[in-house]
Each structure stands twice: as structure tokens, then as C-alpha cells.
Structure 1
Amino acid sequence: MKNLLIVTAIAAPLLFSVNTKAEVISSSENGFQLKLEQPFEGSAKTGYNAFVDSVGNWWLSDHTWFGDATKLSIDATAGGCFCEVNGDHEALHMEVTYVQPNKTLRLVGGLGPLQSLGMSGTMTLQFSGNNVTLEYIVGGYPSTDFTKLAPIVDNVLSQQLASLSQYIEKN
């Protein structure tokens, strides 16, 4: 898994649009803060709806627990689930805590291996015009070096937003 994360971190910028503006705002031994911006075609409503309603079509399958992004869903209601259900295999990736349709979506939890590391975070997505801004603030017990994880998570989320933009462009 460690080698996969390193390869992903190196290859991500080569595979996806350079339009994603990504930045590690801060990182320490206890956590990190990321901010990413991605333009897309259409309106804020278009971006929001694609993010929520079509997550299984644009999320990259190699960043799922069970290898099939079509098994992902987002219930955009307070207490709703960003979940992956594949037969009797289930994963709660994040929980929805705030919804302002077509404008803001907030989720809490630890994506991917962050869960097993005891890390959790708050992800806020803001849709405005033809742009989405994603902020992810993650913290937890420092069982690993968060300063090394921050750029890896940043790259993976950059891939996801670029994939969202590409999906919107094609549809």
C-alpha cells in the first residue's frame, strides 16, 4: 500500500489536468490542512449535482475500498452517508454534516487509509460559478508523520477533482 501511495503521488500530476490548483496550507505532526480549486464547465448547480448525484461515475475506482467506484453514493442530507456498498462489503467514507444545495457540502471523516490511522477531518466543498473549492482539515493522534501524508492526500484529491471536471465536460 505504501508503494502505491508513493507512485500515486508522483504520477498524479502527470495524469490529470493542470487546472487543479492545490495547496498544502499547513501540516504538522498532528494534522494538515489542504485547499484545492478546480474549474469545470457549467454552473455551480452543475458541479454540485455531478459531485453528489454522479460520484460513482467520476470517482476513481483505484481510490475505493472494493475497487468499483460505481458502488459509491452520497446522501446529501445532514447525517447522510458518503458510502460504498458492494454486496456485503460496506464502507462509510464520510458523513454529511452540512448541506446548502448547489453551493456548499460539508463532510466529516477520514478518507481511505486515514481511517485506519485514527485520523479524521472536515471536508468543505464550495461551488461558485464554474469552480469548486475543497478544503480538508485532518487531525488525529500522530501515529505517523502527517507532514508526509499531506502531499499524498493533496495529490489524490487533485486527481478526484480533475476527474470530476472531466466528467462534467463529457456530460
Structure 2
Amino acid sequence: MKTTLTITLASLFLMFTASSKAEVASSSEHGFQIKLEQTFDGSAQEGYDRFVNHISGWWLNDHTWFGDAGKLSLNATAGGCFCEIDGDRQAQHMQITYVDPNKALRLVGGLGPLQSLGMSGTMTITFADNLLSLDYIVGGYPTMDFTRLAPIVDGVLSQQLASFGGYQQ
């Protein structure tokens, strides 16, 4: 199982082509921090709207549990869900803990395979005119080397944000 997960994550990393500014800010055997910036055309309000209300339009199908970004939703309220629902199959990707409309969102949880590894994090997303900034701090019980996992997560998130940056409503 660990080998399959590692190969899958490595494959995702190799597929990514980044147009965003990405950085593994720090990593250790206990966790990591990723900082990303992505430009987009529009105001902070338009970026926030794109992120929240059009997530199924820019999120990549390959990075969903059920293969269809059209099944994604993000309920931008405290306690809301970044969820994927396909009939009886359902996944909570993250939970929203902070909302400052048109300015910032904070979500907690582990994206994708991070959940099955017992890892969780806090993702803070801020919006400015023409710029989205993302800070994701992840920790958990170290069942695998976080220092090797951090660049893979960075690559996948960079790919997602590059899609966000290029999305036209």
C-alpha cells in the first residue's frame, strides 16, 4: 500500500507543470509548510468568487476521489465543507474554519492521500487583486518521510493553482 501511494504521488508530481510561484517553506520528519502564489486576471472579489463558486471549473479531475471535478463544492461558511459528492460516494476534503469574504479562507484537513496517512493541515488562502496566496501547514504521525512528501504535495497544489490562474468564467 505504501509503495503504491508513493508511486502515485510521485507520478502526480512528475505530471505537474507550474506557472505559480511555489516553495516548500520548511519540512521535517514531523510536517511541512508550503507557500504558493498564483496570479490571475481580476480583482480580489473575482478571485474569491472563482475559488469558491467555480471550483468545479478549475479543479483538475485527476485530483478528485471520483474522477469528476463537477462533483466538488465549497460551502464558504464556518463549519462548511469542501466536499465531493457522487451519489452514495462522498468525501470531505477539508472543512472551512474561517471566512472573510473576498479576502481570505481557512480550511483544515488533509487533501487526497494525506487523509489516509493520518496527516492534517491548515490551509490559509488570501486574495488580492490579481493574486492568490496559499499557505498549507501539514503535520501528523510520521508514517513516511515528510521531507520527501512535501515536494510532491507542493507540485500537486501548484498544478491546481495554475489551473485556477488560467480559468476563464
TM-score bracket relative to the smaller structure: over 0.9
Q: Report the alpha carbon displacement of residue 129 of structure 1 after superposing the two structures with TM.
A: 1.2
3-state SS in 2 of match to 1:77: coil
Counterpart amino acid of residue 16 in structure 2: A
Residue 116 of structure 1: SS of its match in structure 2?
coil
Which residue number in structure 1 is paired with residue 161 of structure 2?
Answer: 161
Match of 1:52 in 2: 52
Cross-structure match for 1:121: 121
Q: TM-score, normalising length from structure 1? A: 0.94
Question: Paired residue for 1:4, among 3, 8, 24?
Answer: 8
2:67 matched to 1:67?
Answer: yes
- Count of aligned positions: 165
Following the alignment from structure 1 to structure 2, what is the Cα–Cα distance between the partners of residues 73 and 29?
33
The structural deviation recorded for 1:2 is 2.9
- 1:107, CA displacement in angstroms? 0.1
Post-superposition shift, 1:5?
1.8
Summarize deviations over 1:118-137 as a string: whole Å, max 9, x none: 00000000001110000000
Per the TM alignment, residue 101 of structure 1 is displaced from its structure 2 partner at its CA by: 0.3
Q: Secondary structure at the match of 2:79?
A: coil
Q: Percent of counterpart pairs with the same letter?
A: 64
Deviation for aligned residue 1:4: 2.8
The TM-score with structure 2 as length reference comes to 0.95
Residues 137-148 of structure 1 aligned to structure 2 (within 5 Å)? 137-148=137-148
Distance in 2 of aligned mates of 1:81 and 1:22: 26
- The Cα RMSD (Å) is 0.9
Gapped regions of structure 2 (runs ≥ 5): none
| SS of equivalent to 1:66 | coil
- CA distance in 1 between partners of 2:7 and 2:109 (Å): 24
Q: Which runs of 5+ in 1 are unaligned?
A: none
Instruction: Specify the alignment match of 2:149 in structure 1.
Output: 149
CA deviation vs aligned residue, 1:97-149 (integer Å, no higher than 9, x gap):
00000000000000000000000000000001110000000000001110011
